[in-house]
Amino acid sequence: METTKSAEKRILSVDVLRGFDMFWLVGGTGLALAITKLFGQGIQNLLIPQFDHAEWIGFTFYDLIFPLFEFVMGMSVVFSLKKILLHEGKVAAYRRLLTRFVLLFILGIIYYGGLSNVWPEIRILGVLQRLALTYLLTGMIFIHFEIRGMAILSALILIGYWILFCFIPVPDTGVIALTQQSNWAQYIDTILLPGKKNGPGGTWDIVGILGTFPATVSCLLGVFAANILQSKKLSDKKRFIYLAGGGLAMVLIGYFWGIQFPVIKKVWTSTYVLVAGGYSMMLMGIFYYLIDVKGYKKWTPMFVWIGVNPITIYMARNLIDFNLISKKLVGGNLALMIGEQWAYLLLMAVSMGLSLILLHFMYKRKIFLKV
């Protein structure tokens, strides 16, 4: 009979999954593209589109990175707030929530040049700001709702979002629209969101107001996954089955529903939540089974270094041009000698290596910058 002790100790696979996710943002994508370009045209045509976002409708591997981080962040809500609620109460939990929310939101403003630009050239909402908002909302829901209540609330958000986009005409147009030029997210952001925009034509922010609500459901899916991993009633095998099987079911439902309500990352449709959340759940199940159950850990250190300092390296890659440093180190005559494709691979490998050296240094000295 399988024991449940693994639910009581630190779950290494969570750090590894977070690191795996961030790997693609801190140099992994460039490295993968460089490797892909060494292969024939057929393989390039198959793989290269996966390292960029879908133009509008559709889902690529790169479209998984953001919601996967939301998912893992939802897991961290459980791991961090559960103990605080048990030993210190709701006031302490809210103090932790609000502190992290403010810090993460401010880092988002800084990341998009908030200290060097003046109004209105400041992006109010962006990736880090959305993470801050979804973390706050998920934490508040976790504090006040049981699992059943969270599931019902998640379903209501996804269904309400579907009704809004697919059955209610966009104001000022009189038609039901889900295009880049006309949709409810575009309408609301154009009216309510000031400052610099990051969307088609610069008129609305693709990480804007409305999409924050279904993105919160992506975060809540991580809460559900964490509860599965922490359940002492489940064996290791059942945890894996629930995560992988539940994730597969969500992917299938998401794509089937997508026939009527397309999978679109830029407005974070309900179907996108299910497809991305399903893949995230499946990855969590696989990582958990391989790392925490079977003990295959030799390949994990690099991802652990990234996973315990994700925001640090995300900000560092914005403030320090690792690619430029790499070019100065190995981009001269050496690059000319080995050919364009191999030179690009070398540049990306060195850039990634520089990031890992920094992260390994911080890890060894137990420097963990958390927000």
Q: 139-186 pLDDT, tens per residue?
A: 999 999 999 999 999 999 999 999 999 999 999 888 999 999 899 999
How many separate domains does the chain show?
A: 1
Buried b (16+ CB within 10 A) or exposed e, 120-148: eebbbbbbbbbbbbbbbbbbbbbbeeeee
Return d(Cα 50, Cα 188) in angstroms, integer: 30
User: 99-117, pLDDT tens digit by residue?
Assistant: 999 999 999 999 988 878 7
The answer to whether residue 243 is domain-embedded is yes
- Quickly state the pLDDT bin for 255 (edges 50, 70, 90): very high
Return d(Cα 190, Cα 182) in angstroms, integer: 11
The answer to whether residue 263 is domain-embedded is yes
Encoded tokens for 127 = 């990736």
Using an 8 Å Cβ cutoff, are 171 and 187 in contact?
A: yes
Tell me: pLDDT of 341 over 90: no
- Quickly state the pLDDT bin for 9 (edges 50, 70, 90): low
Rounded-to-5 percentages of helix, strand, coil across the chain: 70, 0, 30
Tell me: pLDDT of 28 over 60: yes
The answer to whether residue 370 is domain-embedded is no
**Peptide bond between residue 120 and the one before it cis (omega within 30 degrees of 0):** yes
Q: What is the pLDDT of residue 201?
A: 62
Q: What is the pLDDT of residue 333?
A: 75
Return d(Cα 88, Cα 111) in angstroms, integer: 33
Closest C-alpha to 170, from 184, 191, 186? 184
Return d(Cα 314, Cα 332) in angstroms, integer: 27
- Quickly state the pLDDT bin for 94 (edges 50, 70, 90): very high
User: 311-324, pLDDT tens digit by residue?
Assistant: 999 999 888 899 99
- Quickly state the pLDDT bin for 256 (edges 50, 70, 90): very high
The answer to whether residue 371 is domain-embedded is no
Average pLDDT of the chain, as a whole number: 92
Q: Where in the sequence is the domain holding 33, given as residue range(s)?
A: 5-364
Tell me the CA distances in angstroms from 286 to 29, 83, 236, 247, 310, one per residue in order: 22, 26, 12, 11, 21
Using an 8 Å Cβ cutoff, are 138 and 169 in contact?
A: no
DSSP letter at 25? I
Using an 8 Å Cβ cutoff, are 28 and 352 in contact?
A: yes
The answer to whether residue 369 is domain-embedded is no
Q: DSSP string covering 132-190, please?
A: HHHHHHHHHHHHH--HHHHHHHHHHHHHHHHHHHHHSPBTTTTB---SSSSSHHHHHHH
Tell me the CA distances in angstroms from 19 to 54, 156, 251, 320, one per residue in order: 23, 31, 23, 20
User: 346-364, pLDDT tens digit by residue?
Assistant: 999 999 999 999 999 999 9
User: In this predicted model, which residue has the larger pLDDT, 36 or 6?
Assistant: 36
Distance of CA 371 to the CA centre of its chain: 16
Q: What is the pLDDT of residue 93?
A: 96
